[in-house]
Structure 1
Amino acid sequence: MPSAQRSRALPVLLLLLSATALHVTGAPCSSPGGDTLEISGDELPDALKTSASTKWKPLTYLLICEVNSLCDQFVEEFGVPKDSVSDFKPDQLELPRDCSSPNFSKENYLLRISRGLERHMVYLQFVERECSKPGKVSHIRLRTKALADHVMELMNNSKRAQGLNSEVRDQLLSDLNAATAWQKKITVPVLLRDYRTFLENTLRALRCIEDRARKKNGPNA
């Protein structure tokens, strides 16, 4: 492997090792539907090989658990209602009802995931400012960037997935920062809940894309 490729692969490998540690330390979490989100220790050898899914699966699982944990910690520390409501408008990702539909577009879904991750990275900047332990948010932002990079790798035309320009980022933050101190506090769990839902939808969409590819190319592809 060329040195440049090794340099790009190292951060992903470190994140995969962290994801596997989640299972080893016995810290699974549950989805709203009650499904346990747990990473098998058997995934680590695969992550060091060539399976594409081992790049995004552990990262997405880990992000879901970390975002949920951060939300719980914030609610407990600041006494904010967990079911807080704010003026923030969710940026949800619709899932395909039928992956076998001829109208399903892998590129469009990957583009929507990429753009959604970009927006949530901006929202995490706001969360980081409001948290007493910003280091945890910084780790989540790092993993989010790694996931966004891999989503772009899955695209046939990654040039479509342009990052948000500074004007859009500034506007998103400006809208959030215009709130009162209390409104900012109640907005944080709303942002984190929305991000968790987005990640769960992303996980299902990527599974759908992977399943379609497997059916198209055969079980040994």
Structure 2
Amino acid sequence: MAALQAFLRALLPRRCPGCDAQLGQEAGLCARCRAALRPRVGVHSPLSPRPQEHLVTLGPYRGVTRRAVRALKFGGARDLAGTLGGALAAGVPAGWNVGAVVPVPLHASRERERGFNQSGLLARSVAASLGVPCVPALRRTRATAQQARLHAAERVTNLAGAFQADARLLPPGPVLLLDDVMTTGSTLVACRDALHAAGVRPVYFAVVAH
């Protein structure tokens, strides 16, 4: 499969999703856009009024990160998961001692419709870079309205009781909860609460963009 993908990259002209420059043999993004992916910890987020020391991100949802996430999520550019996940993993502090990466799940019906869960693809890439398992320990117990179409207060209500965690699937130790984009933080909080209810602590967060 890797050889076939490399052959297609060489045969077909491709544009970088981050800047629209011509891509050569690179997978995902061009070298310039890769260099713009700089992971950081301690950014201000809706999860806390203070800089959030439990969150790692590649930056605000604009520019390269926005275009790359949209290309992965809506354009089917799955090879971006490796690029974005590798960059995100590079920013995970060693002191977190992450034992597993847990993706934010889609409802089964939505995943069938899209054909994949972008957070799952990203989580597998991050886990591979960290040398830990990617564990689908969360599931959606019901379908929910799309968060992007709701106001902040509606997002919290929309996700109330929507996730359930199975701690038996996880190794002991901290977990890294991963999503593609964080807006109000309500999805991450709902997933964190489900993990806490199952006895999983501590929970750290990783998002491509915020």
> Would the TM-score normalized by the shorter structure come out above 0.5?
no
Q: Considering Cα pairs closer than 8 Å and 6+ residues apart, tell me whether 1 or 2 has the greater RCO.
A: 1
TM-score by length of 2: 0.27
Structure number with larger C-alpha Rg: 1
